[in-house]
Amino acid sequence: MASPPTKQGKRTTAAQVDPKLLEILVCPLTKQTLTYDAERQELISPAARLAYPIREGIPIMLPEEARKLTEDSS
Amino acid sequence: MMSDSLPGQTFDRDLLRKRVACALANPEYPDFLHKRAAQDLTGRLELILRDFDTALVIADKPDDFAMRMRATGRLGHILLAHTLVARTAGNQPQIVCEEERLPVAEHSLDCIVSMLNLQQVNDLPGALVQISRALRPDGLFLAALLGGGTLSELRHAWLTAESQRTSGATPRVAPFADLRDMGALLQRAGFALPVVDADRITVTYRDALALMRELKQMGWSNPLNQRSRSPITRQTVATVCAAYEATFANQDGRIPATFEIIYLTGWAPHESQQKPLRPGSAKTRLADALSTREHSLKNS
C-alpha cells in the first residue's frame, strides 16, 4: 500500500538528525567541523568550546543557545 | 537613551528573536508580504533551467514555502533553516541558524534561498560573503529582503510628530538597504552575474495606529538598539496618526504604507559562466560589422 507517511511516522523520525545535514554543518563561529554526540543530542565544537543542542532532531546553531564546555568536560 | 550594545549592532537580535517567536505562534500572523515573496521566489527558481542537488532554504514564513520550492522540481535535497525560532513544519531536515553566522561548510551547497530575513541582520555584507562561500562553484543564491522604500511614510510621520512634541527625534523605523547599493554588495561578496530588482507594494490602513498594530503582529515593532526606552504616550500616537494622515492620506481617508521587496540573484563564480572579453582582444573590426570605412581621428 502506497500511503503517505502518517503523523506518527513523522514523529519517530524527527528525533534522528538527517545525515546530509551532519555532513555540511560546521560551527557558526569557527567554521570548523563538529562532533556529533548522539547520546546527549549535541553538536560539539571543540575550538569554540561550545555544545550546540539538538531539539527534536533540529540542531540549534546559535551560540547563545549553546552549552559552554568547561576544561574537563569536553 | 544609552544602550549597552556593541557599535555596529543596529538590531537587537535577542529582542527580535523573542518577538518573532511570539508573533509566529499567532495563527492569524499577517503573512501577506511573505506569501508574495514566496510566490515570486518560486517563480524565479522555475525559470532557471537547471537542477540543484543540495539546497538550504532560510525562511520563517510561510509554512509551505519549502514544499512550494520542492514542487518546482529544481531542488534535490532541501534543508530548511529558521533564523529566529525553532519550529516544526513537515518532516524535512531543519536547523536554526542566522545568516550572519552561517553554520555550513565552505562549498557545501548548490543553492541558498533566503526569504525576508536579510533586512534584519547587523552585518549584511558579512552575511552575503558567508552565503557566497557556502556555495559550490556555479551555485545559486536567491533572496528577498525589505528595501529602502519600506515604511517611508511611517518614518516621516514619526519624525514630524517627535520634532513637534519633543526636542528631537529617536530612530523609530529600521534602516533598510538601498536597492542601488545591493548590486555592488553582491559583487563585493564574490557573486557573479548579480541581478537586483524590486517590487513595491502599497497597503492601505484605517490609520497609522492600525499599521503599527499590524507591524507588531508581524513581530516587527522597533527592534533597534538605539530605540527610545521611554513609553509612548497616547498623545504622541495621536500626533503620529495626524502627521501621517496630513501628508499621505488617500481621498477615501485611508492611509497608504509602502513595502519594497528587493530580490537578489547571484551565482558562485564558475568558468562556464559568460564574462566580458579582455579589452583589445577583439578579432573583428567594428567597421566591418557596420560595413563602413574606418577613419583615424587625426586625419578627419
pLDDT in the model for residue B183: 93
pTM: 0.85
Inter-chain CB proximity B94 and A26 less than 8 Å: no
Inter-chain CB proximity A60 and B88 less than 8 Å: no
Question: How far is residue B38's CA from residue B40's CA, in Å, rounded to a whole number?
Answer: 5
The pLDDT tens digits for B36-94 are: 999 999 999 999 999 999 999 999 887 789 889 999 999 999 999 988 665 655 667 88
Kindly tell me the number of DSSP H helices and DSSP E strands found in chain B.
9, 7
The pLDDT tens digits for B105-117 are: 999 999 999 999 9
Structure-model confidence comparison of residues A9 and A69, the more confident one: A69
Query: Is the minimum CB–CB distance between A7 and chain B shorter than 8 Å?
Result: no
| CATH architecture assignment, domain B13-150+175-202+258-271 | 3-Layer(aba) Sandwich (3.40)
Structure-model confidence comparison of residues B125 and B276, the more confident one: B125
Of B54, B97, B103, the CB nearest to A20: B54
Query: What does pLDDT average to over chain B?
Result: 89
Inter-chain CB proximity A62 and B97 less than 8 Å: yes
Inter-chain CB proximity B91 and A25 less than 8 Å: no
What percentage of chain A has pLDDT greater than the value 90? 53
Q: What is the mean pLDDT of residues B225-237?
A: 84
Contacts of residue B79 in chain A, CB cutoff 8 Å? 18, 20-21, 24
Query: Is the minimum CB–CB distance between A4 and chain B shorter than 8 Å?
Result: no
Inter-chain CB proximity B91 and A13 less than 8 Å: yes
Of A18, A24, A56, the CB nearest to B88: A56
Question: How far is residue B154's CA from residue B208's CA, in Å, rounded to a whole number?
Answer: 8
Ordered by start, the domain boundaries in chain B are: 13-150+175-202+258-271
Q: What is the mean pLDDT of residues B233-261?
A: 93
Query: Is the minimum CB–CB distance between A14 and chain B shorter than 8 Å?
Result: yes
Inter-chain CB proximity A31 and B14 less than 8 Å: no
DSSP per-residue letters across B27-57: TT---HHHHHHHHHHHHHHHHS---EEEEEE
Q: Is the pLDDT of residue A15 over 50?
A: yes
Closest chain A residue to B90 measured between Cα atoms?
A10
The pLDDT tens digits for B183-194 are: 999 999 999 999
Query: Is the minimum CB–CB distance between A47 and chain B shorter than 8 Å?
Result: no
Contacts of residue A57 in chain B, CB cutoff 8 Å? 94
DSSP per-residue letters across A12-68: HHHTSPPHHHHHHBB-TTT--B-EEETTTTEEEETTTTEEEEEETTEEB--GGGSEE
pLDDT in the model for residue B55: 95
The pLDDT tens digits for B199-212 are: 999 999 999 999 99
Query: Is the minimum CB–CB distance between A29 and chain B shorter than 8 Å?
Result: yes
Answer yes or no: are the C-beta atoms of B57 and B113 closer than 8 Å.
Answer: yes
Of A24, A58, A65, the CB nearest to B108: A24
Q: What is the mean pLDDT of residues A30-36?
A: 94
Which range among A12-21, B102-111, B270-279 shows the weakest confidence by mean pLDDT?
A12-21
Ordered by start, the domain boundaries in chain A are: 19-68
Q: Say whether the ipTM exceeds 0.85.
A: no
The pLDDT tens digits for B142-186 are: 999 999 999 999 999 999 988 888 777 888 888 898 999 999 999
Contacts of residue B105 in chain A, CB cutoff 8 Å? 24-26, 31, 33
pLDDT in the model for residue A74: 46
Task: Count contacts between A and B (CB, < 8 Å).
Answer: 67
pLDDT in the model for residue B19: 87
Q: Which pairs from A11-15 meet CB under 8 Å and 24+ separation?
A: A13/A57, A13/B91, A14/A56, A14/A57, A14/B88, A14/B91, A15/A56, A15/A57
Instruction: Read off the pLDDT band of B6 (50, 70, 90).
Output: low
Instruction: For domain A19-68, give the fold.
Output: N-terminal domain of TfIIb (2.20.25)
